[in-house]
Structure 1
Amino acid sequence: MPRDSVLVLLSVVFCFSSVVSTNSEGTALITLRTRLSDPSNVLRSWDPTLVNPCTWFHVTCNSDNHVVRLDLGNSNISGTLGPELGELKDLQYLELYRNDIGGKIPDEIGNLDNLISIDLYGNKLEGTIPNSIANLKSLRFLRLDHNKLTGSIPRELATLPNLLVL
């Protein structure tokens, strides 16, 4: 193979690999999708072959093409949440209210420093409220009512400076 062809091929491979590596948010959302049952087909636009999840319904991105809002409230979905939510580093609004989501709230939710609102009310979530939520200094709204959560509300939540609704 001529040297120029090898250089072109390496350039294409490098460009493609950098696009794939910057798509951790898309990978995280596709992983979440595999955990969910979607009888109403609201996630039909979540196509793993698309480079950018910003074109998917129920996903909002900022001008830098980072996911800032996931809005699947009242969507008739069920399943569980997983640690992949922690990959959505720019997420500000997590709207999953009034569905049939069960299991535990993943500890990794506490890695989302930009979260302003977590709306998980009206699901079937179990277990305790993760202490990691106390890491979310930007959090204003935390709605977890009408679930099957047990235990006490973590005392650390009282230290959140912007929390208005609990």
Structure 2
Amino acid sequence: MAISTLLGPLLVLLLSIALATTNANTEGDALYALRRAVKDPQGVLESWDPTLVDPCTWFHVTCDSDNRVTRLDLGNGKLSGRLVPELGKLERLQYLELYMNNLVGPVPEELGGLKSLISFDLYYNNLTGPIPSSLSSLSNLKFLRLNGNRLTGRIPRDLTKLGSLKILDVSNNDLCGTIPTSGSFSKFSEESFMNNPRLEGPELMGFVRYDVGGDCK
């Protein structure tokens, strides 16, 4: 058998191993950036060891058959600190569960790069700032729960383009402006938006009714 015939499959194998290692390193670095950015009094992230190439061995992390991260389950973990933009590098992440912690600061725009995301749960934290319009890129998203934070600003109109969205909850924040009613938002009830004192009623016939009594920020 010719040496070139043997080298072909071997080269493909080596490239596959190299690519898998690169992906694992990138995703491990992204997760470890989160660990550095939060306080962890319960030791929930204790197994997140940056010296291990494969983050799939870490607790609360689930991976697929290609060793790519698909779930991050850190709900009710007593974590405090900030979300990090590096999380946007988890290209196959489907479930981002960080609810019921004490996370502060803004929701990073980079999380709009999580194109595989199905469930995005950040409810009951202390997040501030606007809802990023970049989340409108999450075409596979079915569950978006941001309730119980201190988010401000308007609800991005681009979110109405999320055709797969089944559950939306932005209640108990400080959002302002009017409630979109087009696209996927046509099926959500007032409960999805309640307890936002500066948020006005639904838009009429698709037109935005801008608030007259001051800026919406």
User: What is the TM-score with the length of structure 2 in the denominator?
Assistant: 0.68
Alpha-carbon separation, structure 1, partners of 2:59 and 2:29: 16
Aligned to 2:131: 129
Which of 62, 81, 85 is the aligned partner of 1:83?
A: 85
Q: Give the C-alpha shift of residue 21 in structure 1.
A: 2.9
Instruction: For CA contacts below 8 A with separation 6 or more, give which structure has more relative contact order.
Output: 1
Partner of 2:22: 21
Identity in percent: 58
5 Å matches for 1:30-41?
Answer: 30-41=32-43
Report the secondary structure of 2:153's partner residue: coil
One-letter amino acid of the structure 2 residue matched with residue 116 of structure 1: I
Name which of 48, 51, 57 aligns with 2:50.
Answer: 48
Unaligned runs of 5+ in 1: 1-13
Aligned residues: 152
Q: In structure 2, the residue corresponding to 1:134 is in which secondary structure?
A: helix
Letter in 1 for 2:67: N
**Alpha-carbon displacement from aligned partner over 1:100-137 (angstroms, at most 9, x marks no partner):** 00010000010010000000000000000000000000
Deviations 1:14-73 (A, max 9, x none): 99xx47533100010011110010000010110111110001000000011000000000
| Structure 2 stretches lacking a partner, 5+ long | 1-13, 169-217
Aligned to 2:66: 64
Give 1:143's aligned amino acid.
R
- Aligned residue type for 1:40: Q
Residues in 1 aligned to 2:22 and 2:118: alpha-carbon distance in whole angstroms: 27
Distance 1:60 1:153 in 2: 31
> Residue type of the partner of 2:71?
R
Kindly provide the amino acid, as one letter, of the partner of residue 32 in structure 2.
I
Secondary structure, counterpart of 2:167 in structure 1: coil
Write the letter of the residue equivalent to 1:57. F
CA distance in 2, matches of 1:112, 1:99: 21
Counterpart position of 2:175: none
Letter in 2 for 1:156: D
TM-score by structure 1 length?
A: 0.88
Whole-angstrom CA distance in 1 between matches of 2:70 and 2:121: 14
Q: Residue 161 of structure 1 aligns with which residue?
A: 163
Distance in 1 separating the partners of 2:109 and 2:69: 19
Letter in structure 2 aligned against 1:21: T
SS of alignment partner, residue 28 of structure 1: helix
Mapped pair 1:98 → 2:100:
yes
Hey, which bits of structure 1, 4+ residues long, moved more than 4 A?
A: none
Residue aligning to 1:145 = 147
